[in-house]
Amino acid sequence: MNTLIQPGTENLQRRKEILDFVESHEEFRDPIPPEFLTREDRVSNNARKAVAMTDLAEAIDGSDFFGEGIYYQNLIMGRDLHGMSLHYAMFFPTIQNQSDDEQLDEWLPLVVSRAIIGTYAQTELGHGTNLQKLETTATYDAATKEFVLNSPKITAAKWWPGGLGKTASHAIVMAQLYTQGKCHGPHPFFVQLRDLNTHMPMKGVRLGDIGPKLGINGSDNGFLLFDQYRIPRKNMFMRFSKVLEDGTYVAPKHSKLGFGAMVFVRSIMIKDQSMQLAAAATIAVRYSSVRRQGEPVPGKGEVQILDYQTQQYRLMPQVARAYAFMFAAYQTRDLYLKLTENLSTGNTELLPEIHIISSGLKSLVSWETAQGIEQCRLGCGGHGYSHASGLPEIYAYAVGGCTYEGENLVMLLQVARALVKVAEAVKQGNAKLAALTEYLGRRGNAKSSFSNINNAVPRELIHDFEHVAREQLFKAYHLLKKHQQSMSAEDAWNRCSVELAKASRLHVKLYLMKVFFQKIEEISDSTLSEPLNHLAQLYALDLISAAGHEFLRNGFYTDVQLDAVRDGIYVLLEKLRPNALALVDSFDLSDRELHSVLGRRDGHVYENMIKWAQQSQLNQQEVLPTFEKYFKPMMLNARAHI
Amino acid sequence: MNTLIQPGTENLQRRKEILDFVESHEEFRDPIPPEFLTREDRVSNNARKAVAMTDLAEAIDGSDFFGEGIYYQNLIMGRDLHGMSLHYAMFFPTIQNQSDDEQLDEWLPLVVSRAIIGTYAQTELGHGTNLQKLETTATYDAATKEFVLNSPKITAAKWWPGGLGKTASHAIVMAQLYTQGKCHGPHPFFVQLRDLNTHMPMKGVRLGDIGPKLGINGSDNGFLLFDQYRIPRKNMFMRFSKVLEDGTYVAPKHSKLGFGAMVFVRSIMIKDQSMQLAAAATIAVRYSSVRRQGEPVPGKGEVQILDYQTQQYRLMPQVARAYAFMFAAYQTRDLYLKLTENLSTGNTELLPEIHIISSGLKSLVSWETAQGIEQCRLGCGGHGYSHASGLPEIYAYAVGGCTYEGENLVMLLQVARALVKVAEAVKQGNAKLAALTEYLGRRGNAKSSFSNINNAVPRELIHDFEHVAREQLFKAYHLLKKHQQSMSAEDAWNRCSVELAKASRLHVKLYLMKVFFQKIEEISDSTLSEPLNHLAQLYALDLISAAGHEFLRNGFYTDVQLDAVRDGIYVLLEKLRPNALALVDSFDLSDRELHSVLGRRDGHVYENMIKWAQQSQLNQQEVLPTFEKYFKPMMLNARAHI
């Protein structure tokens, strides 16, 4: 089955080759599993591996970051980022995109050869989402032909950039550009932070690690403050905006080039999230086949916990989501490629739609991934709470995605802005709708024809969900119009924002459902298509059930139909039970990627739990010093007085 | 307002006294915040504090564990447990309840004086919920008058007990009792694990730490294996069952004494959970008043993020839940007291009802607490991901409650078993219903009379929720009966279990709603009652909205009524906005308890974020050894070749 999922046999083959490459290299081995290391040792171990990983990177096709690149990095680094993560993810591409030719000639070789290590410093202690309010300033001094970087307040401290704390020698710094007494808004600057020989911070630069986090503790996310720190004029990125020697500001021509990159980053993020959910689902489904508990029929022995309906109901929707999200990631990458092609010929038609869907997917997928992972973790009972399961780390890593690259609720409201424009155009009869929003201009049937899952066809389920997504959007739209009559546009927007966000979610869910059905239509082999069809149906019914009361509105569904949806879920869970393991095995996740004692492919869970635990730092001594120091005096004293 | 919440002015006064006591004692100070410590140092620091805490325990009223006891421990230990947690929570009470007089005389002084440190070893690597299948054996050898403890398989390893890994010298061990060739099921034994002088494990005892976990890493949860380890006959707890010298087994008389203790433990757990949610809500609401982001009206400056409807919608229901759960905890404690009184006169009438509600509350409260904490954490954006917020630790600590003391889904199905019995009795017309299930025997109106929140009264909202909870129970009941006609009772039960669990949840939610309204009726001061009334209404509407399609079923609600519920939520959010800070301040949580830079009472968040971060272990050296070791050679090599 997994030829479909990791598309192309070649790719599966490559996965195997890359895995073998990584496993055969001593450099990539951890001395003990990272969860037993102190933070310092973890950061150090990651530095070692990151250097080796980039030393040996010729083993992979670096141009295929969506495919080989992420895979290679995940195999080596696990769910820890490392000091050089942003060097590749942000520093490198920004230099490529924002430098003028002269800058490129000077900087690119340094970056490619790793003569310097860079990061990307944008977010500040007091400012994240609203970039326009960043407080770091870069003031041009025409006398010396320098920019003076300064952090006027504590809230201006750069905060969060990966590798900034201890690793990076350089950073791209976003700062408010001031020249000739005028502010021109945030611009990027190329800034040296540390001496190349001693690695000590440059004078005027104060920086450090921001401390422990929920996850990714092998990364030294950092803070950064400038005290009147001077950099040459030429360190402002000059490809678009410019500041001339005399301080004259030259504004950029409007450019949408950066937009494609954002879509690409999101397609990567969605794929990454889907793989985290796939990993959690694999662990939980496998463990639920190993774990036996409860004896429904006395004397017949304990049953696999995956036989319980409640456990299936907990886990199988997560398996379905992992597939849905992965398919959406591939689709988003394809949209990106199409967009890039179009943009190169000046065609911006696809932009608005892709903007909507990539923002919306980022938000919905990261949230449901986090939720799904927690369900998988809780489904493993007590052992899910142990790092032996791998699940606490998977959760901690994945849930960050709800916040970075655009806070989820802010994203949903951006989507809503765009959808409201579509609604407006539809109302005014001048909508020019492309594929993803086309349904908003249509009318469907006033009643659903759904009867039960046995004769449900995708077209029908999609039709029904379109109806509900459309109704919610227009409901929110009319509410907005109503409020606008009695208050400011801003207040009206705020007062509808929960309803607007709900409209965005339904739009994205509809897209996910459509893509899922569409992808499995491409499968000709019926041994594959049947279980995947059931999974897609489960996904669809789960979405419908969760939006149950929207379906009942205006009698679109009857009570009987909604009951049939829930019954359908239970029927599908039974049908999927025999294929549950095969469905997760098809994600083709190696034990190395899963990093979970519970999720081992060979099922030898219990004996390996003990082996794993023996590596605990507390077990390196039979008697801890705490006994002599604290407990023994207490106990002796008590015995003396009894 | 907080005289109501921490009931009685005296109590508030005592909170202050205990806080002052703790803060004035150097022994209770952490050298650096625990989140910066390695696991070994954290365990050691906790050992130090635990000894000091018990040394100085005369400062509190130890008999009031629900009130002063938890509070004192939380102030000192934070959200870490410690090696002696189970000594007090399980070892001590079990010895009190299960020992015969002779045993009590021998063991109690050792426990009280802390001459020994005990834990409670029940759960095994392969067995949690289903105690009957524990694999550890205790086989009586009449020749030597000893029990032989043995772990026949790896899955028999005791796994999870707090303090078992490195701290405990003794444990109460649950093992299958074998005597005269017959198994009598799990029984408790008093077992010495380590030598009292050297603290080395006794011969035949193998034990250690189980490794790092999602949370409570300051505790050495442990594993334990026996290899034919002999203990004297008298080390079997003899109060109820006995094994005579010749090996004759004497069965216990039926006793429900243990039941009251379980209700008490649950009341404590519910209170603890509610306080964790209260802490998270306090942090998030305070930070949302400090944090400014976005400028809806250009030039008017950035607004507090708490002004956004989406943020209010995220946080205020958590504030409401924290109150609801706290009130339920008080109510459960009162039920426990009443139950104890009744049981002392042989009156067991309240037992079934209290069993239902305490199991159900444990499950629902712990799940919604965890969910709510995550919403609070996500509502703090990037900073919520940092341990500076305190929120990752609060989540990790609280979410454990979904699993320990009875896995949540298993609990819900226990509740369902009891509810199905009630439904059966109602159907057969012979139900004898007490207060908590009385509504199941009633019929309400076929249509709700709810119109909008301005004229909604609690009685009406409760009536409506009763209707829906009742309908769901009977729906599940009828489904069960239907399935029972075509399959075994076990399969039928399994096939309805998702619907049954749903019925349990609605029963518990109804209880929470009722208790909330009832508690605020007791308030006479209108400055208090108004905001709390709005909060209770928000709680109720949120519950109704979440069960929206159940309300629409059979036309009980119309679409218009359900819209009015959602509108009501938005109206209440606006009404609550001015009191949001006061409502969380009323939880009376000190900065020491919150342990959060974001949640500081003084609002000085940003400067303290930097101060906090400077304590990071990575910041103790300006240049980490990793630079010289890994990065410098790489960078120098690159420079040499450019």
Q: Which residue reads 């059966």 in tokens?
A: B424
pLDDT of residue A319: 98
CA distance A113 to chain B (A): 5
Whether A147 contacts A189, CB under 8 Å: yes
Judge: A211–B606 Cβ closer than 8 Å, yes or no: no
Which residue ranges of A are tagged as binding site for FAD?
A: 123, 162
Whether B389 contacts B474, CB under 8 Å: no
Whether A606 and chain B come into contact, CB under 8 Å, resolves to yes
A 47-106 residues with CB below 8 A of B? Answer: 47-48, 50-51, 54-55, 83
Q: What distance in Å separates the CA atoms of residue A253 and residue A467, rounded to the nearest whole number?
A: 42
**pTM higher than 0.80:** yes
Concatenating the DSSP letter of every residue in B251-288 gives PPPP--HHHHHHHHHHHHHHHHHHHHHHHHHHHHHHHH
Whether A130 and chain B come into contact, CB under 8 Å, resolves to yes
Interhelix angle B497-521/B309-344, rounded to 10 degrees, is 90
pLDDT of residue A523: 82
DSSP annotation of B386: B
Query: Which residue in A39, A295, A374 is closest to B617 by CB distance?
Result: A39
**Residue B548 assigned as binding residue:** no
A 488-527 residues with CB below 8 A of B? Answer: 488, 490-491, 493-499, 501
Judge: B617–A381 Cβ closer than 8 Å, yes or no: no
CA distance A505 to chain B (A): 14
Cα distance from N-terminal residue to C-terminal residue, chain B:
70
Q: Give the pLDDT band of residue A526 (cuts 50, 70, 90).
A: confident
Nearest Cα residue to A111 out of A87, A90, A89: A87
Kindly give the pairing relationship between strand B170-179 and strand B137-141: parallel
CA distance A297 to chain B (A): 7
pLDDT of residue B4: 56
Model confidence pLDDT, tens digit, residues B317-342: 999 999 999 999 999 999 889 988 88
> Which among B405, B407, B424, B530 is annotated as catalytic?
B405
DSSP annotation of A252: P
pLDDT of residue A8: 52
Supply the mean pLDDT for chain B: 94
Judge: A208–B614 Cβ closer than 8 Å, yes or no: yes
Residues 6+ away with beta carbon under 8 Å from A59: A18, A21, A72
pLDDT of residue A351: 83
Whether A611 and chain B come into contact, CB under 8 Å, resolves to no
Whether B402 contacts B366, CB under 8 Å: yes
Which residue ranges of A are tagged as binding site?
A: 123, 162
Q: What distance in Å separates the CA atoms of residue A294 and residue A305, rounded to the nearest whole number?
A: 8
Q: What distance in Å separates the CA atoms of residue A40 and residue A486, rounded to the nearest whole number?
A: 58
pLDDT of residue B8: 52
Model confidence pLDDT, tens digit, residues B430-477: 988 888 999 999 999 999 999 999 999 999 999 999 999 999 999 999
Q: Which residue reads 């929110």 in tokens?
A: A476
Model confidence pLDDT, tens digit, residues A464-474: 999 999 999 99
Judge: A382–B402 Cβ closer than 8 Å, yes or no: no
Judge: A493–B296 Cβ closer than 8 Å, yes or no: yes
Residue A7 clears pLDDT 60, i.e. is over it? no
pLDDT of residue A129: 82
pLDDT of residue A256: 59
pLDDT of residue A257: 56
pLDDT of residue B255: 58
- Closest residue, chain A, to B404 (C-alpha): A382
User: Between chain A and chain B, how many beta carbons pairs sit less than 8 Å apart?
Assistant: 374
pLDDT of residue B7: 56
Query: Which residue in B378, B497, B642 is closest to A403 by CB distance?
Result: B378
Whether A391 contacts A377, CB under 8 Å: yes
Q: Give the pLDDT band of residue A401 (cuts 50, 70, 90).
A: very high
Whether A401 contacts A394, CB under 8 Å: no
DSSP annotation of A449: -
Count of C-beta atoms within a 10 Å radius of residue B152: 11
Which residue, among B363, B543, B597, B627, would best test binding to A if mutated, counting the most A CBs under 10 Å from its CB?
B627
Whether B387 and chain A come into contact, CB under 8 Å, resolves to yes
**Helix (H) or strand (E) segment spanning residue A393:** helix A391-399
Nearest Cα residue to B605 out of B292, B297, B318: B292
Query: Which residue in B200, B314, B606 is closest to A126 by CB distance?
Result: B606
Retrieve residue B170's tokens. Answer: 């003794």
- Report CA-CA distances (Å) from A118 to A156, B102, B619: 20, 72, 19
Q: Give the pLDDT band of residue A255 (cuts 50, 70, 90).
A: low
Whether A185 contacts A133, CB under 8 Å: no
Nearest Cα residue to A166 out of A290, A50, A310, A54: A50
pLDDT of residue A10: 62
Q: What distance in Å separates the CA atoms of residue B320 and residue B537, rounded to the nearest whole number?
A: 9
- Report CA-CA distances (Å) from A375 to A277, A370, B136: 10, 9, 30
Whether A415 contacts A507, CB under 8 Å: yes
Task: State the greatest distance between any 2 C-alpha atoms of chain B, in Å, as a whole number.
Answer: 92
Residue B309 clears pLDDT 90, i.e. is over it? yes
Which amino acid is it at B597?
Answer: V
Q: What are phi and psi of B378, to 5 degrees?
A: -65, -30
High-pLDDT (> 90) share of chain A, %:
85
A 537-566 residues with CB below 8 A of B? Answer: 548-549, 551-554, 559, 562, 566
Task: Please tell me the number of Cα atoms within 13 Å of A349 on its side-chain side.
Answer: 10
Name chain B contacts of A123, Cβ cutoff 8 Å: 382
Q: Give the pLDDT band of residue A6 (cuts 50, 70, 90).
A: low
Name chain B contacts of A616, Cβ cutoff 8 Å: 39, 165, 208-212
Retrieve residue A172's tokens. Answer: 């791209």
Whether A502 contacts A409, CB under 8 Å: no
Judge: A610–B223 Cβ closer than 8 Å, yes or no: yes
Q: What distance in Å separates the CA atoms of residue B219 and residue B215, rounded to the nearest whole number?
A: 9
Judge: B638–A295 Cβ closer than 8 Å, yes or no: no
Q: Give the pLDDT band of residue A640 (cuts 50, 70, 90).
A: very high
Whether A449 contacts A487, CB under 8 Å: no
Whether A372 contacts A281, CB under 8 Å: yes
CA distance B54 to chain A (A): 10
Supply the mean pLDDT for chain A: 94
Whether A183 and chain B come into contact, CB under 8 Å, resolves to no
Whether B47 contacts B83, CB under 8 Å: yes
Whether A304 and chain B come into contact, CB under 8 Å, resolves to no
CA distance A526 to chain B (A): 28
DSSP annotation of A35: G
A 421-480 residues with CB below 8 A of B? Answer: none
DSSP annotation of B66: I
Q: Give the pLDDT band of residue B6 (cuts 50, 70, 90).
A: low
Name chain A contacts of B36, Cβ cutoff 8 Å: 211-212
Name chain A contacts of B158, Cβ cutoff 8 Å: none
Q: What distance in Å separates the CA atoms of residue A302 and residue B133, rounded to the nearest whole number?
A: 9
pLDDT of residue B344: 82
Q: Is the dihedral of CA A610, A615, A616, A620 positive or negative?
A: positive
- Cβ-in-10-Å burial (0-12, 13-18, 19+) of B485 comes to exposed
Retrieve residue A518's tokens. Answer: 């569409």
Judge: A296–B201 Cβ closer than 8 Å, yes or no: no
Q: What distance in Å separates the CA atoms of residue B508 and residue B486, rounded to the nearest whole number?
A: 31
Phi-psi category of residue A216: left, alpha or beta, with phi > 0 → left and psi -120 to 50 → alpha: left
Q: What distance in Å separates the CA atoms of residue B509 and residue B542, rounded to the nearest whole number?
A: 11
Whether B614 and chain A come into contact, CB under 8 Å, resolves to yes
Model confidence pLDDT, tens digit, residues B371-401: 999 999 999 999 999 999 999 999 999 999 9
pLDDT of residue A560: 97
**Helix (H) or strand (E) segment spanning residue A258:** helix A257-290
Q: What distance in Å separates the CA atoms of residue A265 and residue A272, rounded to the nearest whole number?
A: 10
